[in-house]
Structure 1
Amino acid sequence: MALSHGEQVRWWLVGLAALLLFMWAMAGVLLPFLAGAALAYFLDPLADRLEARGFSRTLATATITILMATLFIVAMLVLIPAFIEQAREFIEQAPVYADAIRGFVERRFPEVLDQGGAVEQALETFKGRAEEWSVAALKSAWTGGLAVIDFVTLLVITPVVAFYLLMDWDRLTAKIDSWVPRDHVGTVRELASRIDGVLAGFVRGQLTVCVILGAFYATALMVVGLQFGLVIGLFAGLISFIPFIGSILGGALSIGVALFQFWDDPIMILAVAGIFLIGQTVEGNFLTPKLVGGSVGLHPVALMFALSAFGSLLGFTGLLIAVPLAAAIGVIGRFAIEEYMEGRLYRGHTIYEREQGPAPAPAAPDDLSGAPLDPDERRFGP
């Protein structure tokens, strides 16, 4: 027996609630699998292009895996050790920067640092927190065995999951499509196509922008000789996934370090500021329009809210799935609004009937029981 519209909605809501509950309960276990799925989704267009050039799916997947493994090994041997060392040194130097800021303010604006004033308390708080971070960073190098194991597990499981999902991606999507109720398969395919368009335009494009900006900032800051330039540049590039935040935090951090390092050389300070100005100019006028597109349906505020909400619920796993879920919710929400604005509730009874025509009247029953009579049993006249 076919389910009514209301029953179908209830079953879909129950299934969605069960899925969210499962993800919440298994958040710690799902991380490498979700990371592998995200990596496979990101690389699927490249595999399709290789197939179009005559590669088999297995050969295309193997080629991509070898290429990604080579890049990862190079990064591990060259970038990761330098990044960890600079990050550790930066955290250890944070109290020194706090003392330098206090000394500068005392010399130039002594009236600001009144005894017990807000500025003095803020500087003392920053210095105390910086010292806590330094101690915590040093302790974590000795007591972070479990975190190291989790990180290694992530590095081992994620590429394996990505390899198998990438090799079977087309078959998996076809299989999932076969599970969709046939009455709604057209609508589901349309929504899936829209969601894929949003993700392709935003996630793939924005990640590419982040990689390009991170490489540019890190290389340029190291060339000008800025201390911790690699850490600051990569950090600014990676958090550029959140619009405007990466450039603001990265620019403020690098200029702040440049003020202490190049105090007597304003040309170098301007050079550091110019690096971020060039990066933002290239991003806004070339990278984002070409790689991301003009309309992806994700407002920066909505993106930041999604990251905060899912991050607080599921931790790092929530951060990983926040953007895809926000994009999917946005597409479904816009589809629901379109349906609402085409329906009777929005247009009103009179306008809806004028455009759609009056609903057909139900057939009148032939007797008081409501059931049609057999033609031979009809009676005419008295």
Structure 2
Amino acid sequence: MHMSVRKQVIWWGAASALLLVTMWLLGQAILPFILGAGVAYLLDPVADRLERAGLSRTMAVVVITFGCVLILAAVILLIVPLLIRQATALIATAPEMFEQARSFVVARFPDLLPEGGTFSTAMTDLGKAMGDQWSNVAQTIMSSLGGVISAVAILVIVPVVAFYLLLDWDRMVAEIDRLLPREHAPVLRRLAAEIDAALSGFVRGQGLVILILGTWYSIALMLVGLPFGFFIGISAAALSFIPYVGVLIGGITAIGVALFSFWGEPLWIGAVVAIFALGQVVEGNYLQPKIVGGHVGLHPVWLLLALSVFGALFGFVGLVAAVPMAAALGVLARFAIERYRQSALYTGRTPPAEAGPPILVELAPRGTVARELLQARLQADESRGRAEIQTMQEDLQRRKD
């Protein structure tokens, strides 16, 4: 007996509500496990490739763990301190650059910003406020982030969870597949494959693009001697998942710093412009088509909406889960639209009734049914005659007695 659609909707809705309530109530507690699962998901293709190369699963996970520890140590010891120093210096220098730009505009275009005008006064106040508030904002963000993610969770729980999940990833996927409701298993497998394609196409593909662009921007800007070039290059690459936003924000910031630092040296200013122009050309014509390719990724507006909504509802754990949740919701939305276009509500036609169980028809020579009926009638008459004879014999025996 099939479960009704109404009951199925109730069960699946209750499961989804339970997941959201769990994230809301236990967000801080389950955050390290979500991060560990995300790391295991990202590294599973690497482990599978090492297995195909001849390593056992355990040895492949050990090699990956050792490499990740080395990379993480290098990032913490070499890159993070440099980023923090340059970010702090850029924030401290920003009011001076802002004031110099305002003075240049006032000197060259006095009608644009009249002295003592409302707009000019507002710009001056904004420049002063930047120096007073930006450092406080940065400290607040870092302190709140440190309160959400403790050092123990980062250094101990996340690597341990990622190690064990990566070790048993294939077995867990197979076990989850066995637990799927049999009636909906094909559809759920299809949706899971589409979610994996969308998520991996964005996270793995876009992550590699960001890594390549960050390396190019940061090293190239440092080579031309641009102050804060490493921080600006990394920031521009990190924002490149939104088309044109990374190159615009990073390019404007870099050109502004170049004008402040290289005024009177147009060669170096042109070099900064050329670095971002070349990066944009390579990203649009090679990196995105070759690496991300035809994957159904996440639209930037949809991703920003997911980050805003999940961040507001579930805090930092919502920001972490926003990308996979956005991928899942996008796939489910496309599936719902597909089913809607097949429904009578869209087509205006009543769908054909489901076919009943097949009827087995056996072909026999002509007269077979008549012969079988005749034989059945003869057998019935014979059985009735034997029954009457037996009854008569029983009557005679009773009379003798």
- TM-score scaled to structure 2, two decimals? 0.82
**Equivalent residue number for residue 121 of structure 1:** 122
Deviation at 1:282, TM superposition (A): 0.7
**Equivalent residue number for residue 90 of structure 1:** 90
**Equivalent residue number for residue 131 of structure 1:** 132
Deviation at 1:127, TM superposition (A): 2.6
Deviation at 1:136, TM superposition (A): 5.3
Q: How do residues 271-310 of structure 1 correspond to structure 2 at under 5 angstroms? A: 271-310=271-310
Q: In the superposition, relative to structure 1, how do residues 236 and 30 fare at CA in structure 2: closer, same or farther (>3 Å)?
A: farther
Paired residues of 2:28 and 2:148 also in contact (CA < 8 A)? no
Deviation at 1:125, TM superposition (A): 2.0
CA–CA separation in structure 2 for the residues paired with 1:203 and 1:269: 34
Deviation at 1:160, TM superposition (A): 1.6
**Equivalent residue number for residue 212 of structure 1:** 212
CA–CA separation in structure 1 for the residues paired with 2:284 and 2:183: 44
Deviation at 1:144, TM superposition (A): 7.9
User: What are the Cα deviations for residues 350-377 of structure 1, in whole angstroms up to 9, with x where unaligned?
Assistant: xx45xx47988xxxxxxxxxxxxxxxxx
User: What are the Cα deviations for residues 118-143 of structure 1, in whole angstroms up to 9, with x where unaligned?
Assistant: 243134124313321235557889x7
Q: How do residues 53-68 of structure 1 correspond to structure 2 at under 5 angstroms? A: 53-68=53-68
Max radius of gyration: which structure?
A: 2
Q: Which amino acid aligns with 1:125?
A: L
Q: In the superposition, relative to structure 1, how do residues 230 and 155 fare at CA in structure 2: closer, same or farther (>3 Å)?
A: farther
**Equivalent residue number for residue 26 of structure 1:** 26
Deviation at 1:152, TM superposition (A): 5.3
- Secondary structure of 1:65's partner? helix
**Equivalent residue number for residue 156 of structure 1:** 156
**Equivalent residue number for residue 366 of structure 1:** none
Paired residues of 2:99 and 2:127 also in contact (CA < 8 A)? no
Paired residues of 1:98 and 1:127 also in contact (CA < 8 A)? no
Q: Which amino acid aligns with 2:128?
A: K
- Secondary structure of 1:112's partner? coil
Paired residues of 1:112 and 1:119 also in contact (CA < 8 A)? no
Paired residues of 1:242 and 1:303 also in contact (CA < 8 A)? no
Deviation at 1:146, TM superposition (A): 5.4
CA–CA separation in structure 2 for the residues paired with 1:140 and 1:184: 45
CA–CA separation in structure 2 for the residues paired with 1:314 and 1:148: 12
Q: In the superposition, relative to structure 1, how do residues 308 and 271 fare at CA in structure 2: closer, same or farther (>3 Å)?
A: same
Q: In the superposition, relative to structure 1, how do residues 9 and 135 fare at CA in structure 2: closer, same or farther (>3 Å)?
A: closer
CA–CA separation in structure 2 for the residues paired with 1:123 and 1:160: 51
User: What are the Cα deviations for residues 14-61 of structure 1, in whole angstroms up to 9, with x where unaligned?
Assistant: 110111121122222333222221111111111001111111111111
**Equivalent residue number for residue 331 of structure 2:** 331
CA–CA separation in structure 2 for the residues paired with 1:312 and 1:228: 32
Deviation at 1:2, TM superposition (A): 5.4
**Which stretch shows the higher mean deviation, 173-182 or 62-71?**
173-182
**Which stretch shows the higher mean deviation, 32-41 or 264-273?**
32-41
User: What are the Cα deviations for residues 128-175 of structure 1, in whole angstroms up to 9, with x where unaligned?
Assistant: 13321235557889x789549724532332222211111111111112
CA–CA separation in structure 2 for the residues paired with 1:337 and 1:40: 32
Count of aligned residue pairs for this structure pair: 355
CA–CA separation in structure 1 for the residues paired with 2:296 and 2:146: 39
Paired residues of 1:240 and 1:247 also in contact (CA < 8 A)? yes
User: What are the Cα deviations for residues 71-120 of structure 1, in whole angstroms up to 9, with x where unaligned?
Assistant: 11122222122111111111111221222122212211222333242243
Q: Percent identity?
A: 49
Q: In the superposition, relative to structure 1, how do residues 170 and 85 fare at CA in structure 2: closer, same or farther (>3 Å)?
A: same
User: What are the Cα deviations for residues 324-361 of structure 1, in whole angstroms up to 9, with x where unaligned?
Assistant: 11111111111111112112222123xx45xx47988x
Q: How do residues 217-366 of structure 1 correspond to structure 2 at under 5 angstroms? A: 217-349=217-349, 352=350, 356=352
Paired residues of 2:254 and 2:272 also in contact (CA < 8 A)? yes
- Secondary structure of 1:183's partner? coil
**Which stretch shows the higher mean deviation, 122-131 or 70-79?**
122-131
CA–CA separation in structure 2 for the residues paired with 1:278 and 1:247: 11
- Secondary structure of 1:331's partner? helix
Paired residues of 1:297 and 1:330 also in contact (CA < 8 A)? no
CA–CA separation in structure 2 for the residues paired with 1:226 and 1:292: 31
Q: In the superposition, relative to structure 1, how do residues 46 and 138 fare at CA in structure 2: closer, same or farther (>3 Å)?
A: closer
CA–CA separation in structure 2 for the residues paired with 1:287 and 1:49: 22
Q: In the superposition, relative to structure 1, how do residues 271 and 315 fare at CA in structure 2: closer, same or farther (>3 Å)?
A: farther
CA–CA separation in structure 2 for the residues paired with 1:239 and 1:139: 22
**Which stretch shows the higher mean deviation, 172-181 or 311-320?**
311-320
**Which stretch shows the higher mean deviation, 202-211 or 71-80?**
71-80
CA–CA separation in structure 1 for the residues paired with 2:141 and 2:338: 52
Q: Which amino acid aligns with 1:345?
A: L
Paired residues of 2:94 and 2:130 also in contact (CA < 8 A)? no
Paired residues of 2:148 and 2:316 also in contact (CA < 8 A)? no
- TM-score scaled to structure 1, two decimals? 0.86
Q: Which amino acid aligns with 1:121?
A: A
Q: Which ranges in structure 1 are unaligned for 5 or more consecutive residues?
A: 361-382
CA RMSD of aligned residues (A): 2.4
Q: How do residues 358-377 of structure 1 correspond to structure 2 at under 5 angstroms? A: none
Q: In the superposition, relative to structure 1, how do residues 205 and 264 fare at CA in structure 2: closer, same or farther (>3 Å)?
A: same
Q: In the superposition, relative to structure 1, how do residues 251 and 328 fare at CA in structure 2: closer, same or farther (>3 Å)?
A: same
